[in-house]
Structure formats: structure tokens, C-alpha cells
Chains A and B, each alone.
Chain A
Amino acid sequence: MAAILLLLLIIAFSNFIIPRGANRFRGIILAVFQLVAFVFFYQKLAVTNAGEVITESYRWIPELGLNLQFQLDGVSIIFALLVTGIGVLVFLYAQAYMKPYGHLQRFFFFLFLFSFAMLGLVLSANMIQLFIFWELTSFLSFFLITYFNEKEEARAAAFRSLFITAFGGLSLLAGILLIGNIAGSYVISDWVASAAAIKAHSHYLPGLLLILLGVFTKSAQFPFHFWLPGAMQAPTPVSSYLHSATMVKAGVFLLMRLSPVMGNTPEWNYIISLVGVTTMLIGGYFALTQRDLKGVLAYTTISALGILVLMLGIDTKLSVKSAIVFLLVHAFYKATLFMVAGFIDKKTGTRDLTKLGGLARQMPVTMVITMLALLSMAGLPPMLGFIGKELIYEAKVQLPGIASIILVVGVLANAFMVAVSVFLGYKLFFGKQGDLPKKPDEKGVLYLLGPAVLVLLSLIYGLFPGIINRMVEVALQVVVPKALDIHLKLWHGFNQVLLLSVFTVLIGSALAFFVIKKPKLLGKWSNLNSSVFSFSFTKAFSNMISGFVGFSERNTARIQHGSHRYYILTIFVVTSLMLWYQLYDTRGWTLATNITLQPFYISILVAISIAAAVFTMFSKSRLSSIIAMGVVGYGLSLIFLYYSAVDLAITQILAETLILVMFVLILQKLPVFAKLSSRATKIRDMIIALSFGGVMTTLALKAINVEFNHPISDFFLENSYTKAYGENVVNVILVDFRALDTMGEVTVLTIAALGVFVLLKTRSKKI
């Protein structure tokens, strides 16, 4: 199994090695490899039909209990056969369909990689591994929807689908982690073994909800269904493969996998059936009023996914069996219909149902294929769809009490399906032909090969359901262990279920008759729909996204306002508040030093410096404030000198002198102080400055009392003369002990000097 997966992965990438010149048979080459995979799994069918489970395991991160584990059982083989089998047909179809478009390497790479990811998903025996493949399919779906990336609509739809499915994927991961924590493992078979413990745990419901969120987003269930019609922007091979036959079924697959773990509880049954039944009805209802051929198919897909989810939510043996059969039914007819729709689109140049019509003469083969597929969709004999629908009805009929309302809704939804089938069949081939952009013909074997094969299978399985009986039965036993066997039959005899079927067809035909004969009424109906159901999910979604972006923009603009002074203001206010708090928190120290003004001349020096600083603050003249500033600087150097820091004093004098010289140099080139701030602003700034100055004073006072331990200084004092032969310890530190620091300092000064030189010497035009 892993070998086949690895092969698919390598082929996907070697797509880039196949030269562009081979574009004429690129799809065919890839289809051959899909066929290889299909044959591989087909051979394994005998093994799984015997009830065996094939497992493979490879070391991945054993320390975390994570290994690459694959499992081929009754359920996964059905999915694997669907993925690879429909894969073969889709690649052949894509070869014909994609011919006129560019970037074929890229397209086929994504499509092929998708088949790898989807196969990996259904073969995973480990939930973490399953999640990785799950997300990979979401991303590939994004890239494939946005294939026509010059169309804004395609980009928006791709973003919507990615956002919703990736969101669901993350929620799924959270759910997996919650449940995995209960089970102590991420291997599905371990989960099945500890199913009772999981169901009894208090994290069961949150875990279930999170996982279901992933399932519902992926399988386009209400209220997340709206991404699927948008995904129709993708090229038709993609719609046929990802968005009807395989990827959207991933959620259904997960429900099948988890049914033995988490199923058959009231929570499971109610939540899943409710969502499924709503989706089923909504999909059918809106399918009928679509004007776009692919749109109709998208909504019927939503309805079908709703049925599948519902059947797994009811969670009886019969309902799960009907879900498995219907999964095949739907994959067969829907992939067919999508491929045919793409063919008609290609040949007529439009997908608009108001224009399409009367194609019976121009496209007879297409008609036969489509009619058979539509029969299957309507659930009529002799197609497999009939068997699927009968089983579904049978399961619903058995529902007790209030749940029997599901039967009523189910009949209604199926009547919509019938109506859509009759409508499509009539309109496309016998209805009035509008102005078609192209004159239709039926050339292109590759286009019809896939639909023909699938519809034939649908017919054969419908006539001889015994062929797939064993496969379905084995799958059923995986989902519902120890299930009773119910044989598939085309003819069940006259009973309640058959009566319901007849009833459904009657309603559906009446609906279709109404839709076909009264197009004006249909238009009114569609208008009524749009006014009654004015709540558009797509719009709500884009509003939500733009609202969130707007919210972030507004708040960013508020916090990152760009005003330099207010940044500084914020910094100083916050810093001083924090410092005040810290000082308050560590209060209780006393001032050890007595207040003395001795020596007197130093006190005077400090007083002069303070006066000069205050003067600088309020001076209106540039020159006097600069001189006052100089006074402070020189004052400081005298203080340094008095308190045994001769080197500091010298440096301070030199630096201060240089700064003053620089100031005076450019002063005449600078404007006079303008009065820029209002009185209130000045008072506010003064309060902030005083608060900060106050806290720094207190801090300094506190620091004086702290006795430092100075081993570093002692080392310098001891070794300065003996080792470095210098008497002035400060100098020795700078040029010897910490010489590298000084070199860095010199570098800084050099760069600054170069900068000053460049700034002052270069000339530039005034702007």
C-alpha cells in the first residue's frame, strides 16, 4: 500500500520532468499510473472480501507514538477503488478537456497529487496522519479551484473553500487530540477498542462536536454548504473528481470510520441526522431553481451528501448499508453528469440552462449516457440508484416516533431529485434551443469514455447487485460490527417502500412538469426564493471576512497611529507608572545618608546646574537654551572631577565642547523656536516629565543605599598595575581589559563622523 502511495507521489512530482511537448498525452500517461493503482487495489478486493484487514506500519516518530500506519479494510477499499478508478477516467477526460488551456504541468501535478492525498486519507490507520492528508486535500482543492486565477470570482471562491475547509480541519485536529487523549493513542483500532471509555468520558461531547465541525465543512453540510457551488469555478474534471466523487466524501468516510468509536449515542444521532436532513432538503430545493448546469449539479451533490450524512447519523445497520450503497450510486452518476456537463459546455460554449436545449439530434450518445445517469439520480430502475434509494427508504420507514418526520422530508428531497432529473433530461435534449455560442457536435471519444464506463457500471450493478453485495457487506461490518446481512435486490416485491417510490416519482414529475411548462412561474419562484431567503451565505461570509479585516485595520491604526511624540509619551507614562508601582511594592527602606550641603561649593554647583536645566526647558531663545545646556554639561564634569572620576571629567568636557561647537555651527542655519504647543499640552507634558523625574530621583536615592559587591572591580584594581602596567585603572580597563569594547566604540564614532560628513557636505535640492 505504502509502495503504491509512494509511486503516486513520485509520479505527481515527475510530472515536471515530462516535457511540455508531451502535453498531448500527459493525461493519458497519468491515467495509466492511476490504472496501476486501481488494479492493485482491485486485486486486494479478494483479500478484504474474505474479511481480512491488511495493515502496514512504518517508523515515523515512534518517540511520540506516531507511526505511518496504513489499513485496508472493507471501507477503505471502496474509497480506494473509487479514488483510483474514477481517477483513471477523470485523467482521460481531463486530457481532452484541458487541451486549450495553459499551465498543464501545474494542473496535472495538483490533480495527481490530490489522488495521492485522497488515497492516503482513506488508507490512514492513524488519526494524526489522516489529518495531514485531510488538510493536504483542502489545499489542493484550493489550488485547483483557483486554476483560472485570472478570474476574480474563482479566486474568491477558492479562498472561501479553503477558509471553511481549513477551519474545519483545525477543529478536526483539536477533536482528534481530545479523543486521542482519552484513548491514549491515535490509532483508529485503539479507538475502536476503547469506544466505551471514550463515550463515557466528559470530553466526548466537545471532541465529537469538534470532529463533526471538520466533517460538516469538508462534506459541505448546512450551514457550510455554500463553498461547494462556489467551487464550481474549477475546471470540470476537478468538479467531477474532487467536488462530487471523492474529496467531499472525506467527511462521510470519517463518519464511517468513527461510527464504531463514537456512534450510536443520542448526541451522535441527533446532531448528525439534523444537519444531514437540513442539508438534504436545502440542496434539493435550491437545485431546481439554478440556471447554471454545474450549479444544479452542485446543489444536488449537496443534497446527496446530506443523505449520506443523515444515513450515518441514523446509525442503524440498514441505514449504514444504504449509505455505503448510495455512496457508490452517487459517485457513479454524479461524476458522469459532471463530465457530461463539461462536454456540453465545451461543445455548445455555454452552461446556461435557459439557452441549452434540443441537443438530442446533435449529441445522441451523450443523450443516452445522460439519461441513464439521470435515471440513477432519480432513483429509478434498473439503475443502481434505484437500489440505493429503496434501501434509504427502507431505513427511514423503520424509524420510530418523531424521527419518522425524516421520512417525509426524505420523500420531499427525493421528489426534488426526480424533478431535477426529469427537468434536466427534457431541457437539455428536447427543450427549446436558445442561441448557442457554438454549433454543437459530438467529436471527442475521451470526453465520453469516462461517463460511458461509469454509467454502464451503474446499470450492470443495478441489474446484478450480487456483484457488489459482498463488498458492501464487508464494509458494513467495519462500520457496524456484527451486522446482519441484507442482500441487495433490484426487485423487492410490492410493499410500503415501493409505494413510497411511486409516490416520489409522481410528485417529482409533477414538479418537473410545472418547471418545464411554466418557465415564467419558475422565474417568479426563483425570485421568491431570493427574496425570502435573502440571507446569502456567500455574502455573509465575505462580510464577515471584510469586517474582521476592517476591525484589525481600525485597531492597528489606533495603536500604531504613527505619531512619534505619542509613542514617546506612551513609553514614558507606562515606564514611570511601572517604576512607581515597583517602588511602592518594595517600600520600607530608609534614607541612610544625612542631608548635608557640604561641601558648600558643590551644592552651589548642583544648584546652578538645576537652574540651568530648568532655564533650558522654558527658554524661548535658541542660543540661551543651548548655552544653559552647556552649563549643565560642564557642571556635570566638575561633579565627576570632584568625586574621583578624572577621566570622566575630561571626557565630559571634551564631549560637551564638541556638542556646543556643533550646535553653534548649524544654529544659524536653523529656525527660531516657534511656539508650537498649547498651554494644556505643556502642562500635560510637564506632569509626565515630573512623574518620570520623580521616580528616577527616588530610584537614585534607593540605589545609593544598595551595597554592591564588586569582584570585577577588585580584579581590575589588583591586576591593573601588575599585569597591564598601568596606574590609571579606568584607562587600563578601556584600552586593555575591555579593549574590544573600545574598538567597537571607535567604530561607532567613525561611522557617526562619516555620516555627519556626508550629511553636511552633500548638496541637494530643496523640495
Chain B
Amino acid sequence: MEIILAILTGVLYTAGVYMLLRRSILKFIIGIIFLSNATNLLVFLAAGIVQGSPAFVDGKAADSSLIADPLPQALVLTAIVIGLGIIVFTLALKYKYFQLTGTDDLDQVKQTDKP
């Protein structure tokens, strides 16, 4: 199963990079989302996946090799939330930018000051 998930990671990266290289700003944002999803999946995958035994403890001694590793999960969780913040902010920025300039073309973005 890991192999298929690895392929999914690769596909998400491919999609992310491809979208990142588009001139449309909207596609660019979608590219960011794919990249962040792909990276989350990569970290999750690299830590080793365990089926059906989440990291819950009840005080009794348990074999830690059998239950899911909680640390990468915590890291990925943080990454998801931060990714959400970035994307929502970027979208708002994009909205404002389009309102002001009326273009969706990244190649038109040539100066920081107002034209």
C-alpha cells in the first residue's frame, strides 16, 4: 500500500509544481495547496503507517511499536493548520489584487508600486 501512496505523493507534487508554473494566479494558489498536501503526505508516510491503532493510551503499558507514531502526526497537524492560514490569506490577497488591477496574469505583476 505504501508504494501506491508514494505514487500519490509524486502525483500531488507533479500537479503542485505544474500549477505553480502557470501564469494564472488562481492556478498558482491551487499549486500551493497541492504542494502542502503532498508534503504532509510525505512526512506522514515516511514516519511509517500503521493501520487501525491510533496513538491512544490509557496508562497501561503498551508496545509502542504497534501503535501509530504520534510525533509526525502532531507535526503534520500543525502544518495543515498553518497551510490553511497561508492559503486563506493568499486567496484574500488575490481577491484584492484582482479588484485593484483587473488581471489574473502573474507576468503582469512587474512592479511593487501602483502603476
- List, in ascending order, chain B residues with CB within 8 A of A685's CB: 17-18, 21-22
- A693-B17 contact, Cβ under 8 Å, with A602-B1, A613-B12, A710-B69: yes
- Residues A673 and B57 in contact, CB atoms below 8 Å apart: no
Of A184-192, A249-257, A647-655, the segment with at least 4 beta carbons within 8 Å of chain B is A647-655
Contact-residue bracket for chain B: 35 or more
Residue A752 at the chain B interface, CB threshold 8 Å? yes
Interface centre among A595, A646, A659 (most CB of B within 10 A): A659
Residue A446 at the chain B interface, CB threshold 8 Å? no
How far does the alpha carbon of A760 sit from the alpha carbon of B5 in the complex, in Å?
A: 38
- List, in ascending order, chain B residues with CB within 8 A of A674's CB: 24, 104-105
Residue A688 at the chain B interface, CB threshold 8 Å? yes
- Residues A636 and B100 in contact, CB atoms below 8 Å apart: no
Of A137-145, A202-210, A534-542, A664-672, the segment with at least 4 beta carbons within 8 Å of chain B is A664-672
Interface residues of B in 41-79 (CB under 8 A from A): 41-42, 44-59, 62, 64, 67-71, 73-74, 76-78
- Residues A721 and B37 in contact, CB atoms below 8 Å apart: no
How far does the alpha carbon of A599 sit from the alpha carbon of B1 in the complex, in Å?
A: 8
How far does the alpha carbon of A306 sit from the alpha carbon of B100 in the complex, in Å?
A: 69
How far does the alpha carbon of A82 sit from the alpha carbon of B2 in the complex, in Å?
A: 87
Number of interface residues of A (CB under 8 A): 102
How far does the alpha carbon of A741 sit from the alpha carbon of B109 in the complex, in Å?
A: 35
B13, B27, B57, B71: the one within 8 Å of A712 (CB): B71
- Residues A710 and B71 in contact, CB atoms below 8 Å apart: yes
- Residues A689 and B21 in contact, CB atoms below 8 Å apart: yes
- Residues B3 and A764 in contact, CB atoms below 8 Å apart: no
B54, B78, B110: the one within 8 Å of A644 (CB): B54
How far does the alpha carbon of A741 sit from the alpha carbon of B75 in the complex, in Å?
A: 10
Chain A, residues 212-254, CB within 8 Å of chain B (1/0): the string is 0000000000000000000000000000000000000000000
- List, in ascending order, chain B residues with CB within 8 A of A598's CB: 1
- Residues B11 and A613 in contact, CB atoms below 8 Å apart: yes
B4, B22, B70: the one within 8 Å of A713 (CB): B70
How far does the alpha carbon of A386 sit from the alpha carbon of B52 in the complex, in Å?
A: 108
- A651-B114 contact, Cβ under 8 Å, with A593-B3, A613-B11, A632-B34: no
- List, in ascending order, chain B residues with CB within 8 A of A722's CB: 59
- Residues A701 and B71 in contact, CB atoms below 8 Å apart: no
A contacts with B: majority SS = helix
How far, in Å, is A665 (CB) from chain B's closest CB?
A: 8
- Residues B68 and A643 in contact, CB atoms below 8 Å apart: yes
- A633-B70 contact, Cβ under 8 Å, with A622-B26, A756-B92: no
Interface centre among A564, A742, A752 (most CB of B within 10 A): A752
- Residues B92 and A694 in contact, CB atoms below 8 Å apart: no
How far, in Å, is A604 (CB) from chain B's closest CB?
A: 11
Of A430-438, A509-517, A730-738, the segment with at least 4 beta carbons within 8 Å of chain B is A730-738
How far does the alpha carbon of A568 sit from the alpha carbon of B16 in the complex, in Å?
A: 12
- Residues B114 and A767 in contact, CB atoms below 8 Å apart: yes
- A572-B100 contact, Cβ under 8 Å, with A563-B107, A597-B4, A721-B57: no
Residue A591 at the chain B interface, CB threshold 8 Å? yes
Residue A717 at the chain B interface, CB threshold 8 Å? yes
- Residues A689 and B15 in contact, CB atoms below 8 Å apart: yes
Residue A609 at the chain B interface, CB threshold 8 Å? yes
Residue A703 at the chain B interface, CB threshold 8 Å? yes
A564, A593, A734: the one within 8 Å of B106 (CB): A564
Chain B, residues 85-104, CB within 8 Å of chain A (1/0): the string is 11111011111101111101
Cβ-closest chain B residue relative to A732: B70
- Residues B17 and A692 in contact, CB atoms below 8 Å apart: yes
- List, in ascending order, chain B residues with CB within 8 A of A606's CB: 4-5, 7-8
How far, in Å, is B21 (CB) from chain A's closest CB?
A: 4
- Residues B80 and A603 in contact, CB atoms below 8 Å apart: no
- Residues A690 and B88 in contact, CB atoms below 8 Å apart: no
- Residues B53 and A673 in contact, CB atoms below 8 Å apart: no
How far does the alpha carbon of A572 sit from the alpha carbon of B84 in the complex, in Å?
A: 23
Residue A614 at the chain B interface, CB threshold 8 Å? yes
- A639-B5 contact, Cβ under 8 Å, with A676-B24, A716-B70, A727-B58: yes
Nearest 4 Cβ contacts at the A-B interface: A693-B14, A697-B10, A703-B46, A644-B68
| 14 A-B residue pairs with CB within 8 Å | A564-B109, A565-B21, A596-B1, A599-B1, A603-B1, A606-B7, A625-B30, A632-B12, A639-B41, A643-B50, A646-B54, A676-B23, A734-B77, A760-B95
